Structure 1
Amino acid sequence: MKKIFAMMAVGLWLASPLVASDPSPLRTLMTGDDSRGWEGVGRLNIGPGGLCTGAMIADNIVLTAAHCMFNKVTGERVRPEDIQFLAGWRNGRASAYRGVRRAVVHPDFAFADDNRAARVVNDLAVLELDQPIRKNSVKPFAVHSRPRKGAEVGVVSYAHDRSESPALQEMCKVLARQSGTLVMSCSVDFGSSGAPVFVVQDGKPAIVSVISAKAKVRNIPVSLGTNLEKPLAELMRMMADGDGVFTQAQAVSRPPVSTFGSGAAGPGGAKFLRP
């Protein structure tokens, strides 16, 4: 199905030509000053070695990609008790450590679907933390409507080669949007799945998409993001109705992060949907 996925991205590009512009470079958030305001973005440790990125949208809710919730080898759902959220994880320390009480995956997301292009559209999940994070330094982000073509956006993400500190790309662009998918010039890699895509709204960052995949168009790397508006509203209704998979074990407040190796995606199923 590689051809289907590549054709989808190429079609979006050709249907929506855009004057090329260079995105800003990635800037690693190494210090407390660098990270200020971004502590609500965290590393998700998933099973033995899996890595994704997540972002808080409430003091007890983390937004990420649905495919992070599946074992990439077996296709089975990852147990919530095998997921930990490390808010603001940087250089061996987090601003807060939380387990996951419940995981809710969008009902129209099918991990085993051969149509990988379709999988991007609903590649969204929300995680209920075992305890809220109520710290002045760790703030959840607002959610904003889908950006227009040509809009400037930014991304904060972890990745397999920068799993110990997040990186900020302050400016990349929406190249096209179609059928609930955003095609962007943002730089992402394995482990960036679930990373929040931001716009600045009223002087503050607001989430407008979640990174789902990377691809190439005319040999140019692009990132694919999920539209939030309808899928996220559906997920929050499911959360309110008590749906989802609940943890079966007592979560720990400070997970043993030393057991998670290099952070490269592993059995936890945190890899991108490959083009």
Structure 2
Amino acid sequence: MRQAGWFWVVCMVLAIFFPEGAVAQEQKPTAQFVPALNAMCGSGQELATGCEEVKARRIVDAAAYPWSAIGQINFSAYRVRRYCTGALIGERLVLTAAHCLYAGGTIGWVRPQALHFLAGYQRGGYSAHSTGTRVFLPEDRNGGNGPLRYDPGEDWAILELSEPIGRQVGYLGVFAPGKGELKAALAEGGRIAVAGYPRIRQHVLSVEENCGMAHYLKNNEVLAHECAVMSGDSGGPILLMEGGKVSVIAVHSGAGVTQDSFIRLATPAARMIEAVAKLRGEPGERKALLGRAPGERSKGEAK
């Protein structure tokens, strides 16, 4: 769902977060060079040889849990067709990036009823499908009115579905670790992972299961990670994998290139876990919400 224009928006944001590094630009691109695509892959190579990190991600069985809880959010209108990645975090709740639900132009924020979530999407098929009924955004988004104000610290949205397909395909837990908790989890063998539908392989779900490290920026408002991502992965879950336990700890927002590095940014789960708990009927101060495998029934979630 990301366009080339989004790359430059993200780069401007990165200039604010990382003022010491100006955005690098190719002055004379070759015929095969696509700046937005290659930059989002962390590559300055020709398209034929770029994006190798993303291509190296493992293609998984999208029908098998926990991957069955991840899918594509699709939107189409006259001469417009876009998609992002999203993850079920409740029977009817899909977590994604706020900017994924904004089409700009005369459309603006997309109506929930026009959004289609395909759980376990793989090569044209899927495990379950539902359209949306409501969208929940951060408080400063004014209920989806007005233009998008991109902020990787608040780039999350929850799409409520018309059907409880999470009962069929399962849904993921949500964990909001503090800086010390995340460091300890990684030291004890936990792994940071990403799952999504990158534009270069948009019809298969691919996963990098050991991205390396992750750390918080800007007073813990943003999570910087090292996962191989590109356009199409927006809204996808950044996962903490601890043995057989898989939890969403952030939502991938965007990436860009500075003079010195390729930076990937995500919105931490702490920014939305209170809203998720309330929608699941599990209010209160929580750092973790459990997931459910297919067929299991939630004890606390409102039907």
Deviates more, 1:97-106 or 1:231-240: 231-240
Which segments of 5 or more consecutive residues in structure 2 lack a partner in the other structure?
1-8, 22-52, 282-303
Corresponding residue number in structure 2 for 1:194:
235
Shift of 1:218: 3.6
Which of 149, 171, 174 aligns to 1:143? It is 174
Q: Does 1:206 align with 2:238?
A: no
Decide whether the 8 Å contact of 1:61 with 1:127 is kept in 2. Answer: yes
Distance 1:230 1:214, change over 3 A: closer
Decide whether the 8 Å contact of 1:104 with 1:239 is kept in 2. Answer: no
Pick the structure with greater CA Rg. 2
Shift of 1:3: 6.6
Alignment of 1:24-63 (within 5 A): 25-29=56-60, 31=61, 35-47=64-76, 48-63=80-95
Q: 2: distance between equivalents of 1:154 and 1:74?
A: 36
RMSD across aligned positions (CA) = 3.0
Corresponding residue number in structure 2 for 1:248:
none
Decide whether the 8 Å contact of 1:10 with 1:218 is kept in 2. Answer: no
Which of 262, 270, 279 aligns to 1:221? It is 262
TM-score, structure 2 normalization: 0.65
Q: 2: distance between equivalents of 1:124 and 1:95?
A: 24
TM-score, structure 1 normalization: 0.71
Corresponding residue number in structure 2 for 1:71:
103
Corresponding residue number in structure 1 for 2:45:
none
Shift of 1:60: 0.9
Which segments of 5 or more consecutive residues in structure 1 lack a partner in the other structure?
14-22, 241-275
Shift of 1:61: 0.7
Write the deviation string for residues 214-235 of structure 1: whole angstroms up to 9, x where unpaired. 1224443221100222433146
Greater share of residues in strand: 1
With a CA cutoff of 8 Å and minimum separation of 6, indicate the structure with the bigger relative contact order: 1
Aligned residues: 225
Corresponding residue number in structure 1 for 2:14:
6
Which of 105, 123, 128 aligns to 2:155? It is 123
Decide whether the 8 Å contact of 1:39 with 1:139 is kept in 2. Answer: yes
Distance 1:2 1:139, change over 3 A: closer
Identity over aligned pairs, percent: 25
Deviates more, 1:201-210 or 1:172-181: 172-181
Q: 2: distance between equivalents of 1:181 and 1:228?
A: 10
Q: Does 1:97 align with 2:129?
A: yes
Q: Does 1:161 align with 2:190?
A: no
Q: 1:187 is aligned with what amino acid?
A: A
Distance 1:84 1:183, change over 3 A: same
Q: 2: distance between equivalents of 1:158 and 1:60?
A: 21
Shift of 1:81: 1.4
Shift of 1:201: 4.0
Specify the SS of the correspondent of 1:67.
helix
Decide whether the 8 Å contact of 1:158 with 1:167 is kept in 2. Answer: yes
Distance 1:103 1:12, change over 3 A: farther
Q: 1: distance between equivalents of 2:130 and 2:268?
A: 27
Specify the SS of the correspondent of 1:121.
coil
Greater share of residues in helix: 2
Q: 2:205 is aligned with what amino acid?
A: P
Shift of 1:7: 2.8
Decide whether the 8 Å contact of 1:181 with 1:227 is kept in 2. Answer: yes
Write the deviation string for residues 196-220 of structure 1: whole angstroms up to 9, x where unpaired. 0110246310000000111224443
Write the deviation string for residues 84-120 of structure 1: whole angstroms up to 9, x where unpaired. 0000101111010111111112122477466x4xx11
Q: 1: distance between equivalents of 2:241 and 2:203?
A: 26
Q: 2: distance between equivalents of 1:187 and 1:105?
A: 26
Q: 1: distance between equivalents of 2:120 and 2:214?
A: 26
Shift of 1:37: 2.5
Shift of 1:130: 0.7
Distance 1:83 1:42, change over 3 A: same
Shift of 1:135: 4.8
Specify the SS of the correspondent of 2:239.
strand
